Structures are given as C-alpha cells and as structure tokens.
C-alpha cells in the first residue's frame, strides 16, 4: 500500500522488483488487498505481453492513512 499510496499506479513487475518477493507471494498479497477493495486491477497488453497495473482505491488510501495515524499515536503514547 505504501507504493500505491505514493504512485498513481504501479505494475506487477515493478512491484516485484521493489519488494523483492516471489511472483506467488506478491500475487496472493495483492489478491487480499483487492478483496478488501483497497486496490483495483487493470489488465492490458503491451506489445502482446500481458501488463497488469494496480491502483489504490479511495477506501485503500483512507485505510493506509489510518494505519499511519495509528502508528503515529503509538509513538506519541510512548513519549508520555
């Protein structure tokens, strides 16, 4: 979600390269995010090769922001 929050869209191979995970690992995590409706998938063909791109949804972005806020709160608590 970090990557999709920082970019409008990102393709499967670029995600794999950045996250340094296997095809299967990435695919299953993406499926989970898609089921939660945090991301949407767009498939197309680029020069006859399949090209799969992912975009965050508004719901996904909100969930990510909430996560960051939660982490921030935890840090604030530790300084009380």
Min separation Cβ 59 and another protein, Å: 19
Q: Which of residues 26-65 bind another protein (CB under 8 A)?
A: none
Question: Using CB atoms within 10 A of its CB, is residue 63 exposed (0-12), middle (13-18) or buried (19+)?
Answer: middle
Q: Using the rule CB under 8 A, give the single segment among 8-16, 21-29, 30-38, 55-63 that binds another protein.
A: 8-16
Per-position DSSP letters for 52-63, written without gaps between them: EEEEE-HHHHHH
Query: In which element (H, E) is residue 35 found?
Result: helix 23-35
Binding site for another protein (CB under 8 A): 2-3, 5-7, 9-11, 14, 17-19, 68, 71, 74-75, 78
């Amino acid at each position: 979600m970090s990557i999709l929050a920082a970019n409008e869209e990102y393709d499967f191979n670029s995600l794999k390269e950045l996250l340094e995970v296997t095809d299967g690992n990435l695919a299953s995590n993406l499926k989970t995010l898609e089921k939660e409706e945090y991301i949407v998938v767009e498939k197309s063909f680029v020069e006859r090769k399949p090209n799969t791109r992912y975009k965050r949804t508004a719901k996904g972005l909100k969930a990510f922001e909430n996560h960051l806020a939660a982490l921030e709160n935890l840090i604030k608590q530790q300084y009380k």
